[in-house]
Amino acid sequence: MIFKCRNCGGNVVYSPEKQKMFCPYCESVESEELQRSADGNMHICPDCGGEIPLKEHTAATQCPYCSNYLILDARVEGEYLPGKMIPFKLGKETCKKVLRDKFKKSVFAPEDFLSEVRLNSMQGTYVPFWFFDYDVNVDYQAEGTKVRNWVSGNMSYTETSYYDVRRNMDIDFRDIPVDASVEMPDDVMDLMEPYDYKQLISFEPRYMSGFYAEKYNMGAFQVESRARKKMSDDAGSLVKAQISGYSSVRQQRNDVRVNEDRQTYGLLPVWKYLYRYKDQEYPFYVNGQTGKIVGTVPISSGKVWGYTATLWACLTTILAGLIVWVQLLLL
Amino acid sequence: MEKEIRREAIRKYLRYFRIWFIVAGLVVILLLGTLVLKVKQYNLPRRNTIAPAERVYDSADVLTDEEEEKLRAAIAEAEQYSHADIIIVTINMPMGVSDSEWERNMMNCADDIYDNGKYGWNMAYGDGALLLDNWYEDGEGSQKGSWLSTSGKMEDIIGWREEERVLDDMYEYIEYDPYRAYLAAVERLGAYGRKGAASGDSDGIDGFTGLLGAFVISTIAAAAYLMTHMSQSKAKDTTSAGTYVQGGVPALRAKSDEFIRKSVVSRRIESGSSGGGGGSHRGGGSSGHHTSRGGHSHGGGGRRR
């Protein structure tokens, strides 16, 4: 499918800045008209007839010939219909500013790292996520100790009291996200969290226009172990937070029983900036809703040595100059 | 494109280090300016032309001819940078048995020699110091001792503390190597004349140590700068255990903390002891501003040995 402008026929995209559908050609707002393609998989651009290079899991992409954004009907419907999504809140310009603000003090970064040309290559992508709900009961038992010290005469005493500590709690976990994209690194996607779920809405394809997207690459059962681990770790932390006043706590039992579980499929917004430097790729990921950044800045060895040597030379000149100056004054 | 990036990189580099470049430039200018000034000052000619050229009067004959020559050369050098006359006089004559008599006679003698010679770097009776060293001893006892007579700027610079320092330097060697003792006094007097009292006292940081220090500090600072800018803060996990819990908090169904048992361990406290420290003290001498018999202002003081 493709969203066309009723006024000029141009490709209408979703503008995060305006929070509206926007035609970049005639600047009309909310003038979109959905055009479906006979070819649900969009191998051919319906606008220019060019062949679209599609990857196995592509759900939305840009035509390399006419630059129109296309959404693959067959990959956002039926079994691939997302239940929910968070639309992009950060547009490309805002995202560039976020990156520039974050890395403006990285003096050793290559000169063109934050250049306009490079940053323009940034792509907004809807990443497929599975959201897991768990209604769990945690039954916890531990041995707690309280230690008291005092001195009497020339004797010191240490009293250790032992307690049987038990806690039982119900925890209602909602929407633990686990990315279902092979291409996106799991640790990076975990660091993208948290998203503000107050802005979760039902899926609407129009929010995909102007961005790239993938359908889920892995089924819920393939990624559930990650969700269960998150849930289990969080449950352990929550139950331990209920225990206080002890010098030490030795866990004896921690039974996490899942009474009910559900999973839904959805899309979350991520900006990806791929910077290439000296035959190496440096990917940066920006949460398309909150602006949280994950990535490691490349280091230019020329800058490292140039800047450090300059600082050293200046400092040596200043200090040595002042010392010689003082010596001269004393002559 | 490549050229534009390179140009921008140079612009950024210059902007980044502009304060450093300005400060370093100012220091270099300050240094050169001071150097020019000092060279001019150093080359100032002696203005007193009526005082005798002799600086070493070894009446007590404790110096060899060669030592006298070396001392004269050292004094000439010290006078050039201190801009003050320095005269060494050794005598072997009774100056009085009692301390007060000895001091008065030594002071008058030193002042008289200075005044009669019309010494002073800038003018007659001007800037300078005369060290009178008496080697007299007879059957009644020793009248050995030294007196320092100061005049002009040296009178202002050398107080009791400075005078003691000159004599301390000198007395370290006086009994077994008078030349070395007088040389030490000349160097100290020269330093006072050149640097003033406070700086003349301190041996200060010599040039090499200072430059080495500057080199080390700069290297450490550059290394710290390098490490600070090389390290990058990694993205942190900003979720908490309650992030995905409905309502933010779990429902606590049961809570119990049952006491089981208690154990007590006792331990005898070992007592310890501690010691104290000590101290030291030292004595001093005398000095004062006065007018000589010739009617000229002098300072200084002395010490018997």
The CATH code of the domain that includes B88 is 3.10.310.50
Which pLDDT belongs to residue B299? 85
| B229 located within any domain | no
Out of A160, A322, A331, name the one closest to residue B194 (CB): A331
| A71 located within any domain | no
Cα gap B240→B256, rounded to integer Å: 25
Say if residue B114 is in the same domain as residue B167: yes
Q: Which uninterrupted H or E stretch holds A157? A: strand A155-179
Tokens of A303: 């800058």
Q: What is the mean pLDDT of residues B199-214?
A: 69
Which pLDDT belongs to residue A219? 92
A34 lies within 8 A of chain B by CB: no
The per-residue b/e assignment along A179-210, b for 16 or more CB within 10 angstroms, e otherwise, is bbbeebeeebbbbbbbbeeeebeebebbbbbb
Say if residue B135 is in the same domain as residue B191: yes
Say if residue B17 is in the same domain as residue B151: no
| B287 located within any domain | no
Higher pLDDT, A166 or B198: A166
Could you list the residue range(s) of the whole structural domain that residue A331 is in?
300-331
| A188 located within any domain | yes
> Strands A201-202 and A84-85: what pairing?
antiparallel
Cα gap B241→A191, rounded to integer Å: 14
Say if residue B84 is in the same domain as residue B116: yes
Residue B284 has pLDDT above 50, yes or no: no
| A290 located within any domain | yes
Say if residue B73 is in the same domain as residue B122: yes
B209 lies within 8 A of chain A by CB: no
Say if residue A162 is in the same domain as residue A290: yes
Candidates A316, A322, A326, A329: best to mutate against B (most CBs of B within 10 A) is A316
Say if residue B16 is in the same domain as residue B81: no
Which pLDDT belongs to residue B199? 54
Say if residue A254 is in the same domain as residue A328: no
Residue B274 has pLDDT above 50, yes or no: no
Say if residue A250 is in the same domain as residue A313: no
Candidates A311, A322, A329: best to mutate against B (most CBs of B within 10 A) is A311
* C-beta atoms of A320 and B215 within 8 A: yes
Q: What is the mean pLDDT of residues B80-107?
A: 90
Q: Which residue of B has its CA nearest to A290?
A: B238
Return residues 174-193 of B near A (CB < 8 Å). Answer: none
Return residues 219-238 of B near A (CB < 8 Å). Answer: 219, 221-222, 225-226, 229-230, 232, 234-238
Say if residue A258 is in the same domain as residue A331: no
Q: What is the mean pLDDT of residues B38-44?
A: 78
Which residues of chain A are within 8 Å of residue B247 when distances are taken between CB atoms? 172
Q: What is the domain count for chain A?
A: 2
Which residues of chain B are within 8 Å of residue A158 when distances are taken between CB atoms? 264-267
Say if residue A228 is in the same domain as residue A317: no
| B80 located within any domain | yes
Say if residue B61 is in the same domain as residue B26: no
Say if residue B157 is in the same domain as residue B67: yes
Which pLDDT belongs to residue B276? 37
Distances in Å between the Cα of B64 and the Cα atoms of A86, B69, B145 are 102, 9, 20
Say if residue A189 is in the same domain as residue A169: yes
Which residues of chain B are within 8 Å of residue A193 when distances are taken between CB atoms? 237-239, 243
| B280 located within any domain | no
Share of chain B above pLDDT 70, in %: 90
Say if residue A305 is in the same domain as residue A212: no
| A247 located within any domain | yes
Residue B48 has pLDDT above 90, yes or no: no
* C-beta atoms of B262 and A157 within 8 A: no
DSSP assigned state of A44: B
Say if residue B103 is in the same domain as residue B175: yes
Return residues 24-43 of B near A (CB < 8 Å). Answer: 24, 27-28, 30-31, 34-35, 38, 42
Q: Where are the alpha helices (DSSP H) in chain B?
A: 2-16, 18-42, 65-82, 99-116, 153-157, 160-171, 178-195, 197-201, 207-230
Question: Smallest CA–CA separation between A63 and chain B, in Å?
Answer: 27
Which pLDDT belongs to residue B278? 33
Residue B206 has pLDDT above 90, yes or no: no
Say if residue B18 is in the same domain as residue B111: no
| B300 located within any domain | yes
| B257 located within any domain | no
* C-beta atoms of A111 and B5 within 8 A: yes
Which pLDDT belongs to residue B280? 33
Return residues 145-174 of B near A (CB < 8 Å). Answer: none
Could you list the residue range(s) of the whole structural domain that residue B140 is in?
56-203+294-304
The per-residue b/e assignment along A243-261, b for 16 or more CB within 10 angstroms, e otherwise, is beebeebeeeebebeeeeb
Residue B196 has pLDDT above 80, yes or no: no
| B113 located within any domain | yes
Say if residue A258 is in the same domain as residue A289: yes
| A318 located within any domain | yes
B266 lies within 8 A of chain A by CB: yes
Q: Token match 């839904």: residue? A: A264
Packing angle, helices A301-330 and B18-42, rounded to 10: 30
If you count them, how many residues does chain A have? 331
* C-beta atoms of A310 and B13 within 8 A: yes
Cα gap B204→B209, rounded to integer Å: 10
Q: What is the pTM of this model?
A: 0.68
Counts for chain A of helices (H) and strands (E), in that order: 5, 14
Out of A159, A230, A330, name the one closest to residue B264 (CB): A159
A293 lies within 8 A of chain B by CB: yes
Say if residue A164 is in the same domain as residue A290: yes
* C-beta atoms of A174 and B255 within 8 A: no
Counts for chain B of helices (H) and strands (E), in that order: 9, 9
Which residues of chain A are within 8 Å of residue B226 when distances are taken between CB atoms? 304, 308
Say if residue A307 is in the same domain as residue A275: no
Say if residue B192 is in the same domain as residue B79: yes
Say if residue A216 is in the same domain as residue A249: yes
| A113 located within any domain | no
Q: What is the domain count for chain B?
A: 2
* C-beta atoms of B236 and A191 within 8 A: yes
Share of chain B above pLDDT 90, in %: 49
Say if residue A284 is in the same domain as residue A313: no
* C-beta atoms of A169 and B252 within 8 A: yes
Cα gap A328→B199, rounded to integer Å: 12
| B164 located within any domain | yes
The confidence band for B142, taking pLDDT boundaries of 50, 70 and 90, is confident
Mean pLDDT estimate for chain B: 85
Q: What is the mean pLDDT of residues B249-271?
A: 89
B14 lies within 8 A of chain A by CB: no
Return residues 41-100 of A near B (CB < 8 Å). Answer: none
Say if residue B36 is in the same domain as residue B107: no
Q: Are A126 and A59 in contact (CB under 8 A)?
A: yes
Cα gap B162→B298, rounded to integer Å: 15
Per-residue pLDDT of chain A (331 residues), as tens digits, is 899 999 999 999 999 999 999 999 999 999 999 888 776 677 888 888 888 888 889 999 999 999 999 999 889 999 999 999 999 999 999 999 999 998 888 888 888 888 888 899 999 999 999 999 999 999 999 999 999 999 988 889 999 999 999 999 999 999 999 999 999 999 999 999 999 999 999 999 999 999 999 999 999 999 999 999 999 999 999 999 999 999 999 999 999 999 999 999 999 999 999 999 888 899 999 999 999 999 988 888 888 899 999 999 999 999 999 988 887 777 6
